[in-house]
Chain A
Amino acid sequence: MEFDGEFELDGVPPEKAWIVLSDPMAVRDALKGCRYITPMDDEFNFDEYEAEEDVEMLPEADPEVVAERAFVEGQKYAALMQVGVGSVKPRFETTVTIDERDSENFRMVATGGGDASGSSFSMESGMQIHPVDDGESSRIEWWTEADISGRIAQLGSRVIKPVANKIVNNFFGNIEKQMSDVDEEASSGVTDRLRNML
């Protein structure tokens, strides 16, 4: 099943969008149903891991902390997602690997997959941030190719696609909100320091 789309962030330059979309904590907060996203190793246990609470978020966060936790190319992440599709509300234990991360061109590609009782999926997703209005604003192009199996897949694309689109639109909406928070309140110093670190 293929999904793709675009989202415009008015008044958010690509550099700033890149910073927020590079922060697993920002992504977690923007993604409805996401309990945590955290780097994982082979010993990782979804049941035992407890999500960090009260983490510092931009713009208050220490730029060094945010830069430290930013997505890393080649790193594998664990994410716990609970998504409601029709009558089914599975809890997906998901692993995601950042395959490509191009800070010059603001492009990121990840592959991953997840299992829940009776359902599973694997996917390859990517996004690319394009400057618009002479770099004053951003257009985010995103795409996902997913193989879905089991109970959720049985609902068929006419049920899944609206849910997926809603999650994605909701996600970018939340990101946009975080961006404007950053934009309005953060001193340019924080973002400049971050940009240098990333």
Chain B
Amino acid sequence: MSSETGDVPVAETEYQHDDDGGPDPEKHHGHGRGGMGEEVKRKEDKRFITGRGNYVDDIKKPGMLHCEIVRSPHAHARIENIDTSRAMDVDGVVAVLTAEDLAAHDLATMPTLMDDTQDVLVNEKVKFQSQEVAAVIATDRYVAKDGAEKVEVDYDVLDPVVTARDALEADAPLIRDELEDQEDNHIFDWDVGDKEATDKVFDEADVTVSEQMEYQRLHPAPIETCGCVADWDPGKDKITVHLTSQAPHAHRTLFSMVSGIPEHKVRIVSPDIGGGFGNKVPIYPGYVVAAAASVVLEQPVKWMEERSENIQTTGFARDYDMTGELAATEDGIIKGVRTDVLANHGAYNAVAQPSKFPAGFFNIFTGSYDIEAAYGSLTAAFTNTAPGGVAYRCSFRVTEAVYLIERMVKVLAQELDMDPAEIRRKNFIQKEQFPYQSPTGWNYDSGDYEKALDKALEMADYDHYREEQARRIDEDADKLIGIGISSFTEVVGAGPGKQCDIAGIEMFDSADIRVNPTGNAVLRVGVQTQGQGHETTFAQIVAEELGMDVDNITVEHGDTDTDPYGLGTYGSRSTPVAGAATAVAARKVRDKAKSIAANELEAAEEDIEWDRESGEFHVAGAPDRSITITEIAASAYMNHPGAEEPGLEAVNYYDPPEMTYPFGSYIVIVEIDRETGEVDFEKFVAVDDCGNRINPMVIEGQIHGGLAQGIGTAMMEHVTYDENGNCTGGDFMNYLLPTANEIPNFETGYTVTPSPHHPIGAKGVGESPTVGSPPAIVNAVVDAMAHAGITHVEMPMTPDRVWESLNEAGLALDPRQNVNFEFEGGASEEPADD
């Protein structure tokens, strides 16, 4: 390879400006080969819509056994005895495992991603309901279940504590009594920003506002639950685990570290994944049990969760109890932001986020605004609830931060009686301020917030709805209009390895491109798709960079035996990191192709030019003397230049220099029924800016899905617990996901502000809608009642909660007013017979 290839600039800006030779991102619709900006149909959909997907539960192996986990009905209890004899008597039960059995293999506990230690099977004390107590291995899934019913466990039940606030009370029961020096349920305190400067700003401010809000416990609830098929091969001393994994390589390393099996003897395969949303980043006890059982029994073992097991025991999201405060001038200039958070981490500290960020990226709570001073503090607590705190379709706690600031801006606008669009405009970081350093230490790459807001206001017909809102109030109408805005900024694409790591492994990612002699190519990446469309969009990057047709590129991922090492897909990092690696690897291939082209065209290499439009190489000044990538591929294997190695391939491991900062403005218009508290969506506008766009259709699909999840968050979803620690929101009867019924039509729009440091100027988009929409929805509902003094409604905003607020504000209508008979005192007079 030529020496140039080693220094491919990571921030090549070919697409970013019309005047430097790259296409105009606003107008760019590709060159007809399925490259950047083209609406290529998703390659993966053929198998999905024809029923040929291959998920973990589809994996069947000869002699495969099934694992069922016995779970605790209690949230907090000491185990006095486990009697497995009746279970072993069930025909077809092969083994029943308890902590004692696992301890013999040193597998009774496992490390969490935050360096805590979690019981694989409960050793002494149950710490949350449905925790794993024993495992039954049987010849059939149903037999395993029958066996699990027969495992008898004697519990000494203890008082549980389920909220962070209660857990931190002095007399709260101690949950983690097995930890040395742990005398209470406190995990850590964290803070960021300049407290003194912020306090000063608050002391001197014209106006301050404060609001307490809870980001309720959610569950990512992927339609495919978690599971695995572990297959120990005693002939090769190697274990293959088909795993519902968003991060197969990181899981391989962790698997090896936990099990003691050398890493080159561990193969993780993450086949088709039916949604991850952060839920499939951690390692769960079921995986460890199935793997241990396979090694011991020398047979494949499948473990697959039921729905309620998934919601009740695997990584939840959010559960932040937040107080927000803003300090501002009378004319609405925000001078300071202060926040304090109580974080419920569940029974173990098992959040999935970069290890140097105990509160994730929550410190982006200054949002899209240029605020002089900021200070945030957080206390995390253990509770008798399932462990978690995963980034549910967001970048590590960014959702909580965006909710906080976007809610608080609305609260301030109300206090000052200002238009919420106007107050945002007054405080936005201006486009010429980028790169912008936030008071909590982030380096925003690029943005044009006002442009996105203006576009959203126009699409939403904002002024019209403001008038309509006023009219309804004047006329004392039965249905009120509310308009909510959210102008969010995310921080995604973790991340620079020196800042971001998972269990010590730096968060780079990788791409490996091999061009075949016949001119087609295979791209292998270290990230793993769970529905994002990587097989299409990453192929488009290669198509763009090599002038190939997108149909000639296959993307492979999810198999640690063949793919380059990567940290996986979550936190909108695939395009910012692996997408960058793909572009850089493709440019390395292009560099080598150039030298082959020079050889074939009998010209000096420096005289060879590559034309992005045609995708061909030609001699400078002689466009007719050209060669395609297909011809070059053949030459690489059949007539390679003597100075070069044969073949045409390249690998790149990409360590991003910075995060990327996608943003957008969402406007939600709701109509609230004053009788029932029901909320209808009148209009739902989402304008997103994710930098350069690879496939607008895939982006739109991601936005639609994320908005649906945002509506679920704002209106329906809540993992609830009763005072005994019973999870009363742990199945789809009680944990409500939105369906097509609850989802309105979305109007999507976009602006393009490329990332200056990303090789193709892209920023990542999959999580913007989940992050950006909940505050817009809550702001809309609050806005409908703002004239009567309502400043906040907690999520999920179920009709009864909304009605309570209406009632508190004196806006609720008696549902009986329009009914011409009385409910109380018996029926009124019979209607006349005429």
Which residues of chain A have a CB within 8 Å of any CB of chain B? 86, 117-120, 122, 147-151, 153-157
Contacts and interface: CB of A to CB of B under 8 A. Distances in A.
A185 to B, nearest CB: 39
A149 B728 contact: no
A153 B722 contact: yes
Contact of A154 (B149, B150, B730): B730
Given A150-B129, A154-B308, A156-B734, A120 B74 contact: yes
Contact of B129 (A86, A147, A149, A157): A149
29 contacts: A117-B148, A117-B149, A117-B150, A120-B73, A120-B74, A120-B155, A122-B157, A148-B724, A149-B75, A149-B129, A149-B157, A149-B724, A149-B725, A149-B726, A150-B74, A150-B726, A153-B73, A153-B724, A153-B726, A153-B728, A154-B312, A154-B727, A154-B731, A154-B734, A155-B728, A155-B733, A156-B722, A156-B728, A156-B734
Contacts of B74: 120, 149-150
Interface residues of B, number: 22
A118 B73 contact: yes
B71 interface: yes
Interface of B: 71, 73-75, 129, 148-150, 155, 157, 308, 312, 722, 724-728, 730-731, 733-734
A153 B720 CA distance: 12
A147 B724 contact: yes
Provide the main secondary structure of the chain A interface.
mixed
B217 to A, nearest CB: 15
Contacts of A154: 129, 308, 312, 726-728, 730-731, 734
A153 B75 CA distance: 12
A48 to B, nearest CB: 13
Residue from A117, A148, A154, A157 with most neighbouring chain B CB atoms (10 Å): A154
Contacts of A155: 728, 733-734
Nearest to B154: A115
A120 B129 CA distance: 12
A120 B71 CA distance: 13
Given A117-B149, A156-B734, A151 B728 contact: no
Contact of B71 (A86, A118, A147, A153): A118
Contacts of A147: 724
Contacts of B734: 154-156
Nearest to B74: A149
A119 B157 CA distance: 13
Contacts of A148: 724, 726
Contacts of B149: 117-118
Nearest to B311: A154
A117 B86 CA distance: 13
Nearest to B71: A118
**What are the nearest 10 A-B pairs in CB distance?**
A150-B73, A153-B726, A117-B149, A156-B728, A149-B73, A149-B74, A120-B73, A154-B730, A154-B726, A147-B724
Nearest to A146: B724
Given A154-B726, A154-B727, 4 more contacts: A117-B148, A118-B149, A148-B726, A149-B725
Given A117-B149, A156-B734, A151 B73 contact: yes
Nearest to A151: B73
A156 B157 CA distance: 20
Residue from A117, A119, A122 with most neighbouring chain B CB atoms (10 Å): A117
